[in-house]
Copies of this chain bind each other. A is one copy, B any other.
């Protein structure tokens, strides 16, 4: 079943110990849609300027991503540049030019509104909330956020995630949102804020999924070379929600098993790991579903006892 994906479509400049790319396709909605496209029909909602290249649009279209919701306006596409530390666990933002993204007010095409699945990439919480309100017949909705909204837009963020089925968040942001240093306590506090499912991403250390009555933890995949971690968290989100949309699960109530959610976390981890193997979205030019399923099996092999 189709998944609506909302977020930034951008150009990124990235420097890692493996090299430097001055300008390449990026953005949360780009990564989420690409990852989700291996599982389900992704319907992208975003905004780009008139500098957005045909070849980048073609890459998205080649993965069957619905681009009816990709608004094109005069001006420049959002540009972000950053540099990673030697161990790749930290990055410094060098440039953030919002450009046309500054006036992003997502309007869903009529054809998107009845999609049962919604993944809201990291944008202003009020916009996330507004998108959700445009949809009817949602079976599950959730998304991502970041430190900036947690710190300076807390009430707006709380009102937004109160309506979500699931929240994807990284470990330091889970601590910031909950005020709890311990991740088990942090997750419990976030479950009290509305979502019945919380996924905490830990970068190279993997991910954890919490519901009221159970939790699941997976270690990160051990890549021999991490070329570029940009987008890995968004690819996790795309794999996680894409898999659930593919299966047609209903996340509300008890209609989804812990097993299915755990497999969704594994597919998220698989997509995040592939993302890091090349710069930017490069890996998605050659990646196949059978590569993905092979790595899923590898996760089972190195974690089972």
Contact = CB atoms under 8 A, between A and B. Distances in A.
Interface of A: 86-87, 181-185, 202, 205-206, 208, 214-219, 222-226, 259, 262-263, 265-266, 300-305
17 contacts: A86-B181, A87-B181, A182-B223, A182-B224, A183-B222, A202-B205, A206-B219, A208-B222, A215-B222, A216-B303, A217-B219, A219-B219, A259-B305, A262-B304, A263-B305, A266-B305, A303-B303
Please tell me how many copies of the chain the complex holds: 2
A221 B215 CA distance: 11
A304 B299 CA distance: 10
Tell me the dominant secondary structure on chain A's binding face.
mixed
Nearest to A259: B305
Contacts of A183: 222
Given A184-B224, A222-B184, A224-B182, A216 B300 contact: no
Given A181-B87, A205-B205, A300-B305, A219 B222 contact: no
A217 B263 contact: no
A216 B302 contact: yes
A258 to B, nearest CB: 9
Given A182-B224, A183-B222, A205-B205, A262 B216 contact: no
Contacts of A263: 305
A223 B217 CA distance: 13
A215 to B, nearest CB: 6
A224 B186 CA distance: 10
Contacts of A219: 205-206, 208, 217-219
A208 B303 CA distance: 10
Contacts of A226: 182
Q: 3 tightest A-B contacts by CB?
A: A262-B305, A217-B219, A205-B205
A88 B182 CA distance: 11
A219 B171 CA distance: 15
A303 B185 contact: no
Contacts of A266: 305
A32 to B, nearest CB: 22
B225 A182 contact: yes
Most central of A87, A208, A219, A305 by chain B CB within 10 Å = A305
Contacts of A215: 222, 302
Contacts of A300: 305
